[in-house]
Amino acid sequence: MTAESMTERVVAEPAGPAREAAFAHALDVLRDRRDEFEAQRYVSRDFIALLKRAGMYRASTPTEFGGEPMAPADFMSMVEQISAVDPATGWVASFGSSLVYFAALPPASQATIYASGPDVAYAGGLFPMQEAEKVDGGYVCTGVWQFASGCMGADILGIGLAGGPDTAGKPLTALVDPADVDIVENWNVAGMKATGSHSVRADRLFVPDEMVFVRGGTPQIDEPITRYPGLAYAAQVLAVVTLGAARGALDYAVEVGAARTSITGGQVKGNRSFYKTGVARAEAELRSARAFFYDTTAQIWDKAVAGQPISSSDTAMLRLAATHAAHVGRRVALDVFDLAGTGAIYDTHPLQRYLQDAMVPAQHAMLQTGTYEAAGAVLLGLDAGIPSFP
């Protein structure tokens, strides 16, 4: 594997107005192409390039390797804005945060990955974790790994390997060149269609030791972005997609409800008691969950910047805020669907995108209902009962 093969040479615009304009342009393009991405079931590589120009794929690259790490709240705000246009594309963009995992690699390996620039798109098909054959200098990997979101536009892929006593039970991730594996296009789902979360297949692929790391392992680079809890961040970036989906749905409800006339000639929807009350309650729920989410993020980021210890309770609070955001966002999207009435059942209705996609994040293992219990256990000083939690 070479840096040349891993990294498409797309460079972020200079920080400031040029990068902000690049992000605004990407949102405009997405409004035009989101139906295309949903129909083909993946986000096209040329659109990933637009997100690179907006700085999203250097947002978790350490400064040591030319990155411009963003505060998690700032990065997730961008993901939220994308998700308000198209949640599935927001899900793919959220993996711009996942380069924090690479900090567990030897510094020389990280230097190889970023040799052609800090703007690297990564996708991981990590489950089921496969038992690889350990050989001199690396691992021989065979198997099929599911849920490789964004794999169709990735520069580098990760595959999951089972850990052992030397990793404290934590799984390993092996980094591979997309050209060395097969993408099995089997992403047939009702929600998050455009994420292209296909499977990855390898047959006796050798991966050198220096390109294998413990997921959630000790960072070898010490910067604020590598001090921030990596697994919690992985849950957060998925949860914020639901906040964006709910915002997109709610904005649509307000736009429709503010219309002056009804198609039937009767009272407009927005002037009906149930509609006004429903919009108000949904707005309050969404803003409350969002405030908890971002406030908790800011508190823990301040600790990371200051180099202060981040406790298990701190990390559990991040996980709790993420789970809550995913579940509240899903409920808000469903409540808006209820307000919309019969017309919303059609595939072509604007709310279908938000509804179908908003149902998915809370189904993710990192955000399922059981993580409420796990967070409560940690806050009470008890065993979480879930591996790698918090």
16: which DSSP letter? T
Amino acid at 36: E
| pLDDT at res. 261 | 59
Q: How many CA atoms lie within 13 A of 275 on its CB side?
A: 17
| pLDDT at res. 269 | 81
Alpha-carbon span 122 to 45, nearest angstrom: 12
| pLDDT at res. 271 | 85
Q: Is 255 exposed, middle or buried (0-12, 13-18, 19+ CB in 10 A)?
A: exposed
pLDDT above 60: residue 5? no
pLDDT above 80: residue 267? no
pLDDT above 70: residue 287? yes
**pLDDT tens digit string along 166-197?**
887 789 999 999 999 999 999 999 999 999 99
**pLDDT tens digit string along 21-63?**
999 999 999 999 999 999 999 999 999 999 999 999 999 999 9
**pLDDT tens digit string along 222-256?**
999 999 999 999 999 999 999 999 999 999 999 99
Q: How many CA atoms lie within 13 A of 141 on its CB side?
A: 31
- Beta strand 212-214 pairing with 156-161: unpaired
pLDDT above 50: residue 4? no
What is the average pLDDT score of the chain?
94
| pLDDT at res. 265 | 59
Which of the four CATH numbers 3.40.140.10, 1.10.540.10, 3.40.710.10, 3.40.50.620 does domain 3-113 have? Answer: 1.10.540.10
| pLDDT at res. 264 | 57
| pLDDT at res. 188 | 97
| pLDDT at res. 7 | 44
Nearest Cα to Cα of residue 99 among 200, 175, 205:
175
Alpha-carbon span 79 to 297, nearest angstrom: 15
- The topology (CATH level 3) of 228-379 is Butyryl-CoA Dehydrogenase, subunit A; domain 3 (1.20.140)
Q: Is the bond preceding residue 390 a cis peptide, omega within 30 degrees?
A: yes
Where are the domains positioned within the chain? 3-113, 122-214, 228-379
| pLDDT at res. 31 | 98
| pLDDT at res. 260 | 60
**pLDDT tens digit string along 210-219?**
999 998 899 9
Asked if the domains at 3-113 and 122-214 fall in one CATH topology, the answer is no
What average pLDDT does the segment 365-387 reach? 96
| pLDDT at res. 3 | 41
CATH code assigned to 122-214:
2.40.110.10
Indicate the pLDDT class of residue 262, thresholds 50, 70 and 90.
low
pLDDT above 80: residue 6? no
> Considering only 8-17, 69-78, 329-338, which range has the smallest mean pLDDT?
8-17
What 3-state DSSP class applies to 213?
strand
What average pLDDT does the segment 374-381 reach? 97
| pLDDT at res. 216 | 83
Q: Is 321 left (phi over 0), alpha (psi -120 to 50) or beta?
A: alpha
Alpha-carbon span 216 to 303, nearest angstrom: 19
Structure tokens given for 380? 């009470």
| pLDDT at res. 263 | 55
> Considering only 136-145, 160-169, 189-198, 312-321, which range has the smallest mean pLDDT?
160-169
| pLDDT at res. 351 | 97
| pLDDT at res. 2 | 42
